[in-house]
């Protein structure tokens, strides 16, 4: 905006130039309507008029008037630039300007409307733009992520030539607007296996994926299950073959049968004996054969061993002696049996003992089952009867019992085994002796035992109350020293002779 420039009129004042040559005169006419401000005061001996004739005036000419000042009395007197967003104002005779109202039409700066801040912009709101989006006074182009249905979109941010296909129930103008490629009644429809379009999770048009119909050979597939043949190669359904690792075509089982070079092994499916390696098909399953040159079914080696085929020769694989001829399976190999070669071999569990051919092993020798041992007991892989009460082999694990006590079916199966029992003496037991009796369970050599009695505050601070017993007989009948105080006491039973039977009964009382 520019203020209106005041009209300046040149005023020519007559100057006192002294005498002027005869016949010469200077005249000037002033248009007072073009001058603002007050005129100057007249000079001495001169008259100020609208028309001055120099030749008619004598004396010194008047002083020129003071020049006029710029000003206005109305906004219309001030310059207004056309098409911008500023309006002229006149305040106190001074021209100024204010911003035009928002939305006022304008043409400067390639704009269209005023923004109320004095700028001419392309838009103030999305409604003024074809895309529906106005940002920083500029119309933004339509996009597929602006949250507005614009551009070529058929629905908000989807459809059209630029955006992704619309989801089900969104507006569409054609199938290409829809993710599932099905547009009906101007709405995108859910994928189905009968819509003649490859959509949803289908591998190809209306087949594979979730569809009940599998894809035929040559159709697109993602996995073998998409195909009728069960074979998906390079993302295409392939024709059945005898080398595709799939049961298909006329195969009775995977890649085998009469139509294939490979016959089906025992346990595989079959339609007839022609499908089977052994030539026997029963209940649609290939059966084993002892002449099929294959180690199958229950055979321990090729066509031998097991319950149905002939016995295996020496060096052939076996599981039990019955698989071999001669009748010995050593370390899973058929071998000649011996129980006197001072070596652990054959079915022996230890050197020249145990197993099905040799005699039983003595206690402490390696065993697998009780029959490997002369005692008939195999415990923890060693010959010897089991300990009925393994937890009481130490004082800390002593079996708590109440007085008087009779405890039967106890055992000391090895020389190293001991049994501990915990009792509590009451005040009435003080001064009495502990009476310990063991009774062997076997004849003619019942369990040979030794007994001891201890008192103390704990297993870490035991004091002997007598013993060990004198071991004068297989069984013990022994009295301890008198009990000195109420509290716990322990009875310990040890094995004296490992060649006797291990079972015994313990009786403990005070007297």
Contact 498, 377 (CB under 8 A): no
pLDDT score of 383: 79
Nearest to 30 by CA among 53, 8, 54, 11: 11
Distances (CA, A) of 123 to 114, 148, 260: 8, 17, 78
What average pLDDT does the segment 299-309 reach?
A: 93
| Tokens read off for 495 | 């094995």
What average pLDDT does the segment 157-165 reach?
A: 94
φ/ψ region of 76 (left if φ > 0, alpha if ψ in -120 to 50, else beta) reads: alpha
Distances (CA, A) of 161 to 153, 176, 264, 302: 8, 8, 57, 70
Q: With pLDDT > 70 as the criterion, what percentage of the chain qualifies?
A: 83
pLDDT band at 40 (very low <50, low <70, confident <90, very high): very low
- Give the pLDDT confidence of 229-261 residue by residue, as tens digits: 889 989 999 989 999 888 988 999 999 999 999
pLDDT band at 500 (very low <50, low <70, confident <90, very high): low
Query: Per residue, what are the HEC states of 56-103?
Result: HCCCCCCCCCCCCCCCCCCHHHCCCCCCCCEEEEEECCEEEEEECCCC
- Give the pLDDT confidence of 209-223 residue by residue, as tens digits: 999 999 999 999 999
pLDDT score of 388: 66
- Give the pLDDT confidence of 9-29 residue by residue, as tens digits: 233 333 333 333 333 333 333
pLDDT score of 472: 81
| Tokens read off for 205 | 């048009």
Residue 299, pLDDT > 70, answer: yes
b or e along 54-87 (b: 16 or more beta carbons within 10 Å of the residue's beta carbon)?
Answer: eeebeeebbeebeebeebbeebeebebeeebbbb
What average pLDDT does the segment 26-39 reach?
A: 38
Q: Is the pTM of this model over 0.85?
A: no
- Give the pLDDT confidence of 43-58 residue by residue, as tens digits: 343 333 333 333 333 3
pLDDT score of 385: 64
Contact 386, 377 (CB under 8 A): yes
Residue 4, pLDDT > 60, answer: no
CB atoms within 10 A of CB 145: 7
What average pLDDT does the segment 165-178 reach?
A: 94
pLDDT score of 66: 39
List residues bridging with 264 in a β-sheet: 276
Cα–Cα dist 412/504, whole Å: 8
List residues bridging with 187 in a β-sheet: 171, 184
pLDDT score of 6: 36
Residue 437, pLDDT > 80, answer: yes
Across all residues in the chain, what is the average pLDDT?
82
């Amino acid at each position: 905006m520019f203020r209106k420039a005041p009209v300046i009129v040149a005023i020519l004042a007559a100057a006192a130039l002294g005498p002027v040559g005869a016949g010469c005169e200077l005249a000037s006419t002033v248009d007072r309507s073009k001058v603002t401000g007050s005129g100057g005061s007249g000079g001495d001996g001169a008259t100020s008029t609208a028309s001055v004739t120099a030749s008619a005036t004598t004396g010194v000419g008047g002083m020129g008037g003071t020049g006029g000042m710029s000003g206005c009395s109305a906004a219309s007197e001030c310059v207004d630039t056309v098409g911008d967003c500023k309006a002229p104002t006149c305040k106190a005779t001074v021209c100024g300007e204010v911003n035009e109202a928002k939305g006022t039409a304008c043409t400067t700066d390639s704009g269209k409307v005023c923004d109320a801040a004095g700028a001419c912009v392309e838009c103030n709101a999305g409604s003024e733009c074809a895309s529906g989006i106005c940002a920083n006074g500029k119309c933004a182009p339509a996009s597929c992520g602006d949250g507005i249905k614009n551009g070529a979109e058929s629905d908000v941010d989807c459809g059209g030539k630029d955006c992704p296909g619309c989801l089900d129930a969104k507006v569409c103008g054609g199938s290409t607007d829809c993710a599932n490629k099905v547009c009906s009644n101007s709405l995108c429809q859910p994928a189905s296996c009968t819509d003649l379009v490859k959509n949803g999770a289908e591998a190809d048009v209306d087949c594979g994926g979730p569809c009940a119909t599998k894809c035929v050979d040559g159709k697109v597939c993602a996995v073998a299950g998409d195909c009728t043949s069960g074979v998906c190669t390079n993302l295409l359904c392939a024709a059945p073959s005898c080398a595709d690792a799939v049961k298909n075509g006329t195969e009775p089982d995977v890649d085998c049968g009469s139509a294939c070079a490979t016959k089906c092994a025992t346990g595989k499916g079959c339609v007839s004996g022609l499908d089977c390696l052994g030539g026997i098909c029963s209940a649609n399953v290939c059966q084993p054969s002892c002449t099929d040159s294959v180690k199958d079914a229950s055979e321990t080696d090729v066509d031998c061993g097991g319950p149905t085929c002939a016995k295996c020769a020496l060096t052939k694989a076996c599981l039990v002696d019955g698989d071999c001829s001669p009748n010995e399976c050593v370390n899973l190999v058929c071998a000649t049996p011996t129980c006197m070669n001072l070596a652990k071999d054959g079915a022996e569990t230890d050197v020249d003992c145990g197993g099905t051919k040799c005699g039983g092993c003595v206690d402490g020798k390696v065993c697998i089952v009780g029959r490997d041992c002369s005692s008939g007991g195999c415990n923890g892989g060693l010959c010897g009867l089991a300990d009925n009460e393994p937890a009481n082999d130490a004082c800390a694990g002593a079996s708590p019992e109440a007085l008087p006590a009779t405890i039967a079916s106890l055992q000391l199966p090895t020389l190293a085994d001991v049994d501990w029992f915990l009792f509590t003496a009451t005040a009435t037991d003080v001064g009495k002796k502990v009476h310990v009796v063991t009774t062997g369970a076997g004849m003619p050599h019942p369990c040979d035992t030794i007994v001891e009695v201890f008192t103390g505050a704990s297993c870490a601070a035991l004091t002997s109350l007598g013993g060990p017993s004198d071991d004068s007989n297989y069984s013990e009948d022994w009295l301890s020293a008198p009990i000195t105080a109420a509290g716990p006491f322990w009875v310990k039973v040890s094995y004296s002779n490992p060649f006797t039977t291990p079972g015994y009964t313990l009786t403990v009382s005070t007297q």
